[in-house]
Chains A and B, each alone.
Chain A
Amino acid sequence: MTDIAAKKTLTKKDFASDQEVRWCPGCGDYAILNAVQKFMADSGADPAKTVFVSGIGCSSRFPYYMNTYGFHTIHGRAPAVATGVKVANPELDVWIVTGDGDSLSIGGNHLAHILRRNLDVNILMFNNEIYGLTKGQYSPTSPVGTKKKSTPMGSIDRPFEPAQFALGAQATFVARTIDQDVKHMSEVLHKAKAHRGTSFIEILQNCVIFNKDFYSSNVDRAVRPDRTINLVEGEPMVYGKERDKGLRFDGFEVKRCSADEADVWNPGTKSGAPAFLIAGMREDPEMPIPIGVMRSVAAPNYEIGVNAQVDDAVAKKGKGDLKDLVYAGEMWTVE
């Protein structure tokens, strides 16, 4: 009781560290930091049991600004470090903060494997479609033709669709939200926290210096209702300022339709195919950008399994005594 009471008294401020926040003025990261600090207070998080782990990049400075335990690791490796933290102490509430370059370029392998293992952690992937900390090179989520300092004639390689990457790695929870929409972000964070498994949340995030307003044509207030669709479990896939547009599945395609023809969204289908199709809509400029929860299914958690094997071994063999390990095999004694 006292525990719960104590938690309830915490406010957003209690989750802010004493460090001065040093992102560029106007950076989308501020909004995310504010939303996450508020969410922590609202969700009754215990700062002592919360760990933020990050890689390298602008977003990865995040843990320094949270008054929780924090580990700013090395480029791309936050999922691997977080795996060690969670395996060693499954009681900890582990959050990974990463960016598009950190998670999908240098750290692509670790991202794939943490999703496959489904540790009960949450990944906040800030996607600004650019390398910010190294001052503006194209990233693995930048569209083809992105002209930046390292690609003066335009980038050639096709970008990753982060949600499809995650789904391909058998992610059990995939969602997308937007830095500007604090309310929506908060809803997604609550769902992610409730999910028992790796939650992958892509947050579209503005880089005001190197990729300013790259997402404006989709997420600015005026166009957002028509250019995005918020997926809500059990509700028809409807969007538009007038809520008159809808989406329906037609074989292996998602098609636009009128609101009353829209299919009901289910992120928990046995197959990940509907989520994969929905995530792929971004390739088509005619289609809205999906936000909300694209996938949510249950699967075993690695950290539980790995610790259960230890418990099983102890149950079967008894708590190991070093003597039995050293004095084993065929021994002989010389007098």
Chain B
Amino acid sequence: MNPKSAQDPQAGELPLQQLDRVVLRFAGDSGDGMQVTGNQFTRTSAIFGNDLATLPDFPAEIRAPAGTRPGVSGFQLQFSSSDIHTPGDAPDVLVAMNPAALMVNVKSLKKGGVVVVNSDAFREIDLKKAKCDTNPLEDGTLEGFRVIEVAINTRVNEALSDSPLSNKDKQRCKNFYTLGLMYWVYSRPLEPTLEWLEEKFKGKPDLISANQTALKAGYNAGDIRELFQGQYEVPKAELPPATYRNIMGNDALAIGLVAGAKLAELPGVFCSYPITPASGVLEALANYKHHGILTVQSEDEIAAICSAIGASFAGSLGMTGTSGPGMALKGEAMGLAISTELPLVIVDVQRAGPSTGMPTKVEQSDLLSSIYGRNGDAPMPVIAISRPSDAFELAIDACRIAVEFMTPVILLSDNFIANGAEPWALPNLDDLKPFPVKFTQEKGDDFLSFGRNENHARPWVKPGTPGMEFRIGGLEKAPTSNISYDPDNHQAMTDLRHAKVRKVADTIPTPEVEGADSGELLVVGWGSTVGILKQAIDTCREEGLSVSRLHLTHVWPLPHGLDEIFSKFDRILVPEMNVEQMTILLRGELPNHDYVPYNKVTGQPFLIAEVIERVKTVLAETKKA
């Protein structure tokens, strides 16, 4: 928090300080409603006009035992009056509803930051559940932080003394009291949340009234000067002119798939099996049936992709979505789609692995398995979304490539994008270029089921078309689509499948370098690291370091022109949340450059500060050498 100016007469005697940006983290039991609290703060800040980015951090268990450390659910957001790209490294303010939430989160808090704790939740029994031998409020744990103790349980009970709700139900309003408190501190309007509560608890006037009362009570409590030394304001951000809405990655991706099917002028069939963190895509699409999207919740991951393939065979645009373990199961069917050359979009919302791994944590470790991880030589284009606001256009591009090249396409997202939110500058829909599919209706003289057009794509014939009956399958086929074990044919078909996927590169843009187009270091990122890398590298350049940045969205095939771009830098730093996967890819494809891998697999995103640190270290090493 960098106070910019002081004193506003509107705030009475308290100073109203302007801040450029604030990182706030709410933490409590998974039953404490922290995600709701965080989402409400986000929504209100978006309506207010701040730029923002969010990071929900919840346990895989829906309700781990109350009060324990595994049960802690957190929601971090950064809101700002200027352009931001990440939910922030370290919170300025931590709101901790119990000792477990405090202990899990305090280590990431900024030095000198503010801790707001619910002092009613630090009884001996609470400390025991959180495995605290001593009370962290008293034992020096919080030294160096500004600690604000609020007896939230007591305050909520007082505020709701007239409410007919049971004590237990009253206590469930704690999160709105806390939210009210934070609204006061950061001068947020109450109206959006008051209205939201009306809608949320429609027909339950007692619940509406209690939560609204708690919210207002929290807000009013902010006036108690002993608690807070001041009130802050984060003015509206100066975003580029556009109409914005706040959007989460999974939602933007779902809308992009709807748009992709529409632009292809095809009905979309999305088949999926529930899996964290990809289920949100299925759930979103299930509400878009009137947009011509049909959804099937399949019996398993394999069935999901197989039904999507069946739908594409029948002339719809088949789509499926999953996360890492599901990708592993879908592998054989991906090969079938490659062999039969049917369009298909496969969404992989990556999570930490291997095996079940850490389902609610972020990782980018499905890159190489997406590109190479199938039996046989089975090439397929792979696109990586980097943020909620580009999910829309990249989902459309996945659909375009699928139908223009008659190929399955993998669309990589990750947990950070899926559940993170940020303002989305809404596109002008008239600018979207349609790519209508033309089914082949008649056999010309030289018709072949596996004949090729300029994209090396085969004709798409829809069952139901008279006189065009043909058979396809996963066995190697001749151009007629009949089974062939001919050695030369297999060589030719293998080469064709590769050439086709390589040809996709002709239709994708060369990424732009941010910063100087030559220098000591180029940072090459892909996927959800984009915001962190941008902010880190911008800072490095402001400090005068010779470092530029490039971000890849189309990771297979790689876009044209990279070799030339890379050749103008001494070294290429490749940060990613896996063990050297992009580095391996680049070393294989563009071997003439000096790559420096930079890997983090903690289940948490990179921090801006650590990226800056690494850039400096690499630059120093380069100089020495």
Q: Which residues of A are interface residues toward B (Cβ below 8 A)? A: 17, 19, 46-49, 51, 53, 63-64, 66-74, 77, 79-89, 91-92, 109-110, 112-113, 306-307, 309-310, 312-314, 316-320, 322-323, 325-335
Say yes or no: A69-B470 contact (C-beta < 8 A), given A77-B333, A332-B243. Answer: yes
The answer to whether A71 and B466 touch across the interface, beta carbons within 8 angstroms, is no
The reply to whether A88 and B483 contact each other, CB–CB distance below 8 Å, is no
* Interchain CB contact under 8 A, A320 and B471: no
Residues from chain A with a CB closer than 8 A to the CB of B340 are 71
Known: A19-B482, A73-B473, A326-B255. A87 touches B288 (CB 8 A): no
Question: B427 at interface (Cβ–Cβ under 8 A)?
Answer: yes
Bound CA–CA A71/B310 (angstroms): 9
The 21 sampled A-B contact pairs (Cβ below 8 Å) are: A51-B314, A64-B482, A69-B471, A73-B473, A77-B302, A79-B303, A80-B298, A80-B306, A87-B269, A88-B315, A109-B303, A110-B299, A314-B289, A322-B258, A322-B429, A323-B429, A327-B243, A329-B246, A330-B43, A332-B46, A334-B240
Tell me the complex Cα distance, A80–B312, Å: 13
* Chain B: CB-nearest residue to A310: B289
Q: B318 to A331, Cβ gap below 8 A?
A: no
**Chain A proximity of B84: nearest CB distance (Å):** 15
Establish whether residues A333 and B242, one from each chain, have CB atoms under 8 Å apart when the complex forms: yes
A327 (CB) vs chain B CBs: closest residue? B426
Residues of A contacting B482 in the complex (Cβ-Cβ under 8 angstroms): 19, 64
Residues of A within 8 A of B470 (CB): 69-70
Check if B244 is an interface residue, CB within 8 A of chain A.
yes
A88 touches B290 (CB 8 A): no
Contact of A84 among B290, B310, B426 (CB under 8 A): B310
What residues on A are CB-neighbors of B392 within 8 Å?
A: 326
> Which residues of chain B are within 8 angstroms of A85 by Cβ–Cβ distance?
310-311, 313-314, 463
Complex Cα gap A333–B470 (Å)? 53
List 7 extra interface pairs beyond A49-B464, A327-B243, CB under 8 A. A19-B483, A48-B464, A71-B471, A87-B269, A326-B427, A329-B245, A334-B242
B42 CB → nearest A CB, Å: 11
Task: Give A332 to B482 CA distance when docked, in angstroms.
Answer: 57
| B291 adjacent to A84 (CB under 8 Å) | no
Closest to B254 in A: A325
Q: A88 to B316, alpha carbons, bound, how many Å?
A: 6
**Are A72 and B245 in contact (CB-based, < 8 A)?**
no
- In the bound complex, residues from chain B placing their C-beta under 8 Å from that of A47 are 469
User: Do A307 and B463 touch across chains, with their CB atoms under 8 A apart?
Assistant: no
Contacts known (A71-B473, A84-B271, A326-B429); A53 close to B310, Cβ less than 8 A: yes
Measured CA separation A313–B332 after assembly (Å): 35
- Bound state CA distance, A201 and B32, in angstroms? 54
Q: Report B-chain residues with C-beta under 8 Å of the C-beta of A325.
A: 255, 258-259, 288, 291
Is B561 on the interface with A (CB-CB < 8 A)? Answer: no
B299 touches A48 (CB 8 A): no
**Residues of the A chain whose Cβ atoms lie less than 8 Å from the Cβ of B309:** 73, 81, 84
B468 interfacial contact with A, CB 8 Å: yes
B238-293: which have CB < 8 Å to A?
Answer: 238-247, 255, 258-259, 262, 267, 269, 271, 288-292
B197 within 8 A of A: no
Q: Which residues of B contact A81 (CB under 8 A)?
A: 306-307, 309-310, 313
Min CB distance, B434 to chain A, in Å?
11
Within 8 A of A (CB), among B313-338: 313-316, 318, 332-333, 335-336
Q: Which residue, of B245, B307, B310, has the highest number of chain A Cβ atoms within 10 A?
A: B310
Q: Is B311 within 8 A of A87, CB to CB?
A: yes
Q: Mark B1-29, 1 if CB is under 8 A from A, else 0.
A: 00000000000000000000000000000
Q: Known contacts A70-B471, A310-B292, A330-B46; is A80 also within 8 Å of B303 by CB?
A: yes
B611 adjacent to chain A (CB < 8 Å): no
Q: B residues 470-484 with Cβ under 8 Å of A?
A: 470-475, 482-483
C-alpha spacing A306/B298, complex, angstroms: 13
Hey, which chain A residues are within 8 Å of B469, CB to CB?
47-48, 67-70
Q: 3 tightest CB-CB pairs across the interface, nearest first?
A: A84-B310, A72-B473, A320-B291
Once A49-B464, A84-B314 are accepted as A-B contacts, the answer to whether A334 and B471 lie under 8 Å apart by CB is: no
Best-buried of B46, B463, B467 by chain A (most CB within 10 Å):
B463
Nearest CB on B from A193, distance (A):
18
A320 contact set on B, CB distance < 8 A: 258, 288, 290-292
